Amino acid sequence: MSIITETKIAKLGEKVLRKKAKKVKDVKSEETKKIVSLMLETLKKSNGVGLAAPQISISKQIMIISSKPNSRYPNAPIMKDLVLINPKIIKTSKGKNKDWEGCLSIPGIRAKVPRYNKIEVKYKTLENEKKTIVFKDFIARIFQHEYDHLIGFVYIDRVETNKDIISEEVYFKTI
């Protein structure tokens, strides 16, 4: 792959969002570091709380969770940026809850999506260390949303009824 120097968010309808992303083979490579750097930069500019590599048109199993209050998610909890490479869900809670989500790849829309309340995940760090972590509530929701991008899904695929989809303009009037 040639090194990308500029990114734009892939939008719904672009094939990369419907493909299963490839595992990262050389986690410590310069290419992987460059992808993560571009993802972090893109995330900062976009006011997102998470981003998956397919969203910048790179079909690799890399995601970043970056929860901070911002204009799109004013009540988001604060956490340090977390880079997850080749993540996998290894355990889920029985319970799910439905809550609002948005997506940088589907601007202008919000939808209520059922997600597990708690998940256990294994992944690799940029240093190629194997880690296991438990996510709860909003952070678990972010992970599941970004994980969907790695398996060729988008959040509206998980919506139970079309009444759970609204414009972002209406959404911001209700919160």
Residues in Cβ contact with 29 at an 8 Å cutoff, skipping those fewer than 6 apart: none
- The alpha-carbon radius of gyration of the chain (Å, integer) is 15
42 annotated ligand-binding residue: no
67 annotated ligand-binding residue: no
- Looking at residue 106, the DSSP 8-state letter turns out to be S
Burial class for 54, CB neighbours closer than 10 Å (0-12, 13-18, 19+)? buried
Q: Could you tell me which of 32, 37, 28, 48 has the C-alpha nearest to residue 6?
A: 37
Is 127 marked active-site? no
Name the strand (E) or helix (H) holding 43. Answer: helix 30-46
145 annotated ligand-binding residue: yes
C-alpha dihedral sign at 76, 78, 83, 87: negative
C-alpha dihedral sign at 18, 21, 143, 67: negative
Catalytic residue among 146, 160, 168, 169: 146
Residue list, annotated binding site for Fe cation: 103, 145, 149
Residue list, annotated binding site: 103, 145, 149
Catalytic positions, written as ranges: 146
